[in-house]
Structure 1
Amino acid sequence: MLLLGTFTLLSVAAAGLVALFDPAPAPASAALRPAANQASAGGQPPVRIVGTPFVPNTNPRQR
């Protein structure tokens, strides 16, 4: 327990020192950045579904 406590205390102290000497950069304006998560759906072919759709079993007693 002594070793674990010592390691935890030293790790927290090291993280605190790094946070003091390396401040986070200022956040950029959200209006200037393009959305990285959105893709255009114009050039994508339609998806073909084969078989029955998956239905989760919400009642385990019933099969």
Structure 2
Amino acid sequence: MRIREENCNMVLLAAVTLVSVAIAGGAMLFGLDDQPVRLADRATGVEQAPTADKRIIYVNDQPPVRVIGAPFVPNTNPRER
């Protein structure tokens, strides 16, 4: 019994799906935890005091970088060179 060429991709998709479900199911069985899942609130940032060896670097305070060479101009019309 051969798989027709039209159905080959669907069979491959089904096989990958089944293997993924089996791996996820196995991980779920071994990873049972009684604690509820807690999500971090990204609206409130964690305030950390800067240490002595890590100073705060502001992007606006950095000196500008000098670019050497011709600026890049995309060739939007390949017929004109």
Q: Distance in 1 between matches of 2:75 and 2:37?
A: 46
Number of residues of Structure 1 aligned to a counterpart in Structure 2: 57
Percent identity, please. 50
Q: Give ranges in structure 1 of 5+ residues lacking alignment.
A: none
Please tell me the residue identity of whatever aligns with 1:11.
S
Is 2:56 the counterpart of 1:47? no
**Deviation for aligned residue 1:62:** 0.9
Q: Distance in 2 between matches of 1:27 and 1:9?
A: 32
The aligned counterpart of 1:26 is 39
The aligned counterpart of 2:53 is none
CA RMSD of aligned residues (A): 3.5
More helix by share: 2
TM-score (normalised: structure 1): 0.52
Structure showing greater relative contact order (alpha-carbon pairs closer than 8 Å, 6 or more residues apart): 1
Secondary structure of 1:13's aligned partner:
helix
The aligned counterpart of 1:12 is 21
Q: Distance in 2 between matches of 1:58 and 1:52?
A: 17
Q: Distance in 1 between matches of 2:38 and 2:25?
A: 17
